[in-house]
Each structure stands twice: as structure tokens, then as C-alpha cells.
Structure 1
Amino acid sequence: MNHKAAIPNAFTLTNLLLGILSIVYTMDQNYRMSAIMILLAAILDGMDGKVARKLDVASPFGKELDSLSDLVSFGVAPAILIYAAQLNEPYGIIGLTVAILFALCGAIRLARFNILNITTHFLGIPITVAGPLMALFSLAGDHLPDLFFPVAMLLLAGLMVSNLKVPKF
């Protein structure tokens, strides 16, 4: 493997590390730090592809590693965070179902993105938008009504797997 390729992959793996840390913080009921880890992962996720293209080391391996990291950091970590912090207590099994659906739709979104190779736009909103949005909502959790969280998660889950054309910037 090209040594320069290790640089963007380090950004991607740090994104994954932050997603894992988010899950650990959620397990420790430190929901604020969990959300912050997701937001920091989003910053790194925005950098890995740019670095890979700048160094001319973009590869199918890097793309797959990025998708696997994104599923953890922006699908699983936000789902667990929102379930633990906002959905478990008032909604129980329904809240768990909503959280799982969010993560599953994120996985479908990433798989579809990887096989379509559309260069002009995204099909459905990216998981890298949906996950950080849920983290931001979590930080504002005390100021939002209980019903906001399942509705937002279901809406974002649906938008991830929709045929909505979202411009690439």
C-alpha cells in the first residue's frame, strides 16, 4: 500500500475511533460527550476524502473503510445515543425500533451510495448529515419535546433511503 494512503486512512480510522468513543460515552450516560464525539467524527470525515484526493491516493479500499466508519459514527452511535438519552424512557420498545430503523436505513444509504457512483448529486440525504444532526438535536434535548426525537429519527431515516436528489458541494 502506498505510504501516502495511510494519511487519509488515519483520518478515517480516527472518525471510527470517535464513533466507538461516542458509544462508550453513551454507555457511561455521558450523552453530551457522546454527541460531541459524533460531531468531531463529522469534521474528520469531511477531511479524509479531501486529503486522499489532494495526495492522489483515493482508492476503493479507502472508500469502503470510510463507509464502514461512517456507519458506526453516523448510524450506530447516534442511534444508541438518542435511544439511551431520549427514546428509552418514554417509548421503550417503540423507541428501540425507531433507533434500529435509523441505523439500518443508514447502512442501506451507504451501500447504495457505494454501488451507484453518482458524481453530480447524492441520492437521499447522506448519513454524514443525518447522524450529526441527531447529535446536535441531542445537545438541545432538554429544550425539545419528547415527540421530537422519534419523529426526527424516522424522518431522517426515510430521507436517507429516499430518491431525493441532494446537490454535492
Structure 2
Amino acid sequence: MKKYIPNLITLCNLFSGSLAVIFAVQGNLVAAAFFVALGIFFDFFDGLAARALDVKSDVGLQLDSLADVVTSGVVPGIVMFQLFTMALPGDDGVKQWTADTNWLEFTFNPLALFGLLIILGSAYRLAKFNVDDRQTDSFIGLPTPANALLILSLPLILTYQPNSFATGIILNEWFLFALTIISVIILNAELPLFALKFKNWGFKGNEIRYIFLILCVVLIVLFQFLAIPMIILSYVLLSLIKS
């Protein structure tokens, strides 16, 4: 019976991601962010449960990636699409290919579809992860949950920490174009990044992990949601220093 526990936790991740998709499509980006965070929480513990119960399996590995495609791939892609929709100029009905039929009618700026590249980049990164034996104790490229948190932090900043400077940057279409491209690249770059996997709780050998966790707490206390992009940047920089 215990062999099903990790997969059940993974399915909770998938269910949370599915709810996040619904909210993201409806434009409720705060609720989408909440359910993505919940899904990432389950994603962290399914691996711990599999190792603790010694029930790791190939099915569990594939199921984990499939759940992550939704929670950490599809949702941030839709959120980026929604941010593009808010940022791009135009009226409420930009239409294409409606000469004879209305089967394909855009009620949004088609350039907003650029944000969906995050879904493609995330799916490709997860596929590579499943066949890359170098990523057992570390990562090559930014993990999809970290990228999802980065994208989902933007609507949270707009909602809970609004100011003219942050809003002007986040809702600038050129910033969103650049962030989308950088996101896809860094997901799949040959960039070695440490994992928060503790083989023991001693400080020796885990120095970089403890420093990062302390830094996360300090940044969150000082900057709240603005801390999330800082944390992702710090994660990459600390990994480069460690390398």
C-alpha cells in the first residue's frame, strides 16, 4: 500500500495545477498563484516520500513530470499570456481569419500568444530531465517550479505591492518579451544548479544550501513578494559561485 503514497501526493500536485489552470484562464491570477504554490508543495514532498518509503519507480518519475508540465509549465504560460494581454496596446477585439467563418476569432492581441512559449520550454526541460542521469543530486538548467514561482510572482506584486515603478516594468510588453525568452533559455541551458536535497543535516557539505535558505528568509521578511525574483536570481548566482 505504501508504494502508492508518493504517486497520490503527485496527483495532488496535478489536481492543484489543474485548478490553477482554470483560475488563470479566468484571469484570477492570484488564485492561480496560490494553487501553483500548493502544487509545488506537493511536488517537493512526493520525492521525499518516495525516498523515505524506498518506493521510487519509473511510473512515479513520469507521473511527476506530467504533473509538473501542468503546474509549473501550463499555468505560468497562461499567466504570461494574461500579462501580455494587459500590457499590449489595442482594442478589445483584434480579429484574424474571419472573412467567411467565425471559427477562429481572436478577442485578444495575437502577440500575447508569445507567452505560451514558456509552456513549450518547460515541457522540453522536463523531458530532458527524465533522461538526463546527471540530475540526480543537482540540476542542469532552472527547475520548472522555480521558473513558475518567478512568473507567478509578477501578478502577486501587482496586486499586493503595487507601485508605479514595479507596475511600469511588469506591464511593459518589451520586459515581458525579454522575460519569456530568458525563461525558455535558462530552463534549458547547460547551467549547473544545486538542489535542496540534504543527505544529512550537518553544515559541512550543505553550506550553500543553508546560506541560500537563510537568504530566502531575510529577503521574504524584507521584501515580501518582491523577494521572489531576488531569490531566483540569488539561486542562480550562488550556484555559479559553487560551480
Query: For the pair shown, which has the larger CA radius of gyration, 1 or 2?
Result: 2
Q: Distance in 1 between matches of 2:137 and 2:29?
A: 36
1:151 matches 2:166: no
TM-score, normalised on structure 1? Answer: 0.90
2:11 to 9, 13, 37: 13
Q: Compare 86-95 and 35-44 and name the one that shifted more.
A: 86-95
1:167 Cα deviation from its structure 2 partner: 1.4
1:66-107 residue CA offsets vs partner (Å, 9 max, x unmatched): 0000000000011112212x112333322212x221110101
Aligned length: 165
Contact 1:124 1:159 in 2 (8 A): yes
**2:67 match:** 69
1:96 is the counterpart of 2:113 = yes
Q: Distance in 2 between matches of 1:151 and 1:87?
A: 12
CA displacement at 1:139 relative to structure 2: 0.8
Tell me the distance in 2 between the aligned counterparts of 1:28 and 1:120: 38
Structure with the higher fraction of residues in helix conformation: 1
User: AA paired with 1:35?
Assistant: A
CA distances 1:18-45 after superposition (whole Å, capped 9, x unpaired): 1110111123322210111111111111
Please give the TM-score of this superposition, normalised by the length of structure 2: 0.64
Residue among 28, 31, 44 paired with 1:30 = 28
Cα deviation code 1:31-63 (max 9, x no counterpart): 210111111111111110001110011111000
The aligned amino acid for 1:103 is I
Q: Does the CA contact (< 8 Å) of 2:80 and 2:116 recur in 1?
A: no
Runs (5+) with no aligned partner, structure 2:
89-108, 197-243
**What residue is the counterpart of 1:112 in the other structure?**
128
Gaps of 5+ in 1: none
SS in structure 2 opposite 1:58?
A: coil
